[in-house]
Structure 1
Amino acid sequence: MKKSDVAMIILIASMSVLIAYFVAKAVIGDVQNESVKVKTTEAITTDIVQPDTTVFNSNAINPTVEVIIGGKTQGSQ
């Protein structure tokens, strides 16, 4: 490569970096030093709230029990 080719590559690379810098700054914007309000959560306590007795009671349906409808056993299909 000639010296002029190397100089041209360096010039093009530096111009590309400058253009990329200004485009990124225009798209992203400047960093603002403003305070921001953030939602906070409630503190976690060790209190346990008892569940509703109308839903969680001893007569409630247990969804983990296998139910066979129609008197057929499984696997006899």
Structure 2
Amino acid sequence: MKRSDIAMIILLASLSMMAAFAIATNLSFLKVDEKGEPVDRVEKINSSIDDQPSATVFNKDAINPTVKTIIGGTGQQ
């Protein structure tokens, strides 16, 4: 490529970027509201554990997820 070709490519790319920027700044759906958007506040998370675990979940008859369980079949692998 000649220097003039490279210069022309750079010029066209620059003009394209400026045109895209000018068009994008004038599109209404891309503009941010100056007032901002109201958001809900969340409660502060407390790191202490005051309650006992639920007896319905943590009991002696609960299912142990670490034991391999086979549903159906003869029980042989």
Match of 2:3 in 1: none
Q: CA RMSD in A?
A: 3.2
Q: Distance in 2 between matches of 1:16 and 1:71?
A: 70
How many angstroms apart in 2 are the aligned matches of 1:54 and 1:17?
63
Q: Deviations for 1:5-61, whole angstroms, at most 9, x for unmatched residues? A: xxxx6xx857645532331112223x4421431122211111343332122201112
- Which residue is equivalent to 2:38? 37
- The alignment's TM-score, normalised by the length of structure 1, stands at 0.50
Distance (whole Å) between structure 1 residues aligned to residue 34 and residue 64 of structure 2: 57
Q: Which runs of 5+ in 2 are unaligned?
A: 1-7
Q: How does 1:1-77 map to 2 (within 5 A)?
A: 13=12, 16=16, 19-27=19-27, 28-29=30-31, 31-45=32-46, 46-67=48-69, 70-72=74-76, 74=77
Give TM-score, length-normalised by structure 2. 0.50
Identity percentage of aligned residues: 37
**Structure 1: gaps (5+ residues):** 1-8
**Count of residues paired in the alignment:** 64
Q: Which amino acid aligns with 1:38?
A: V
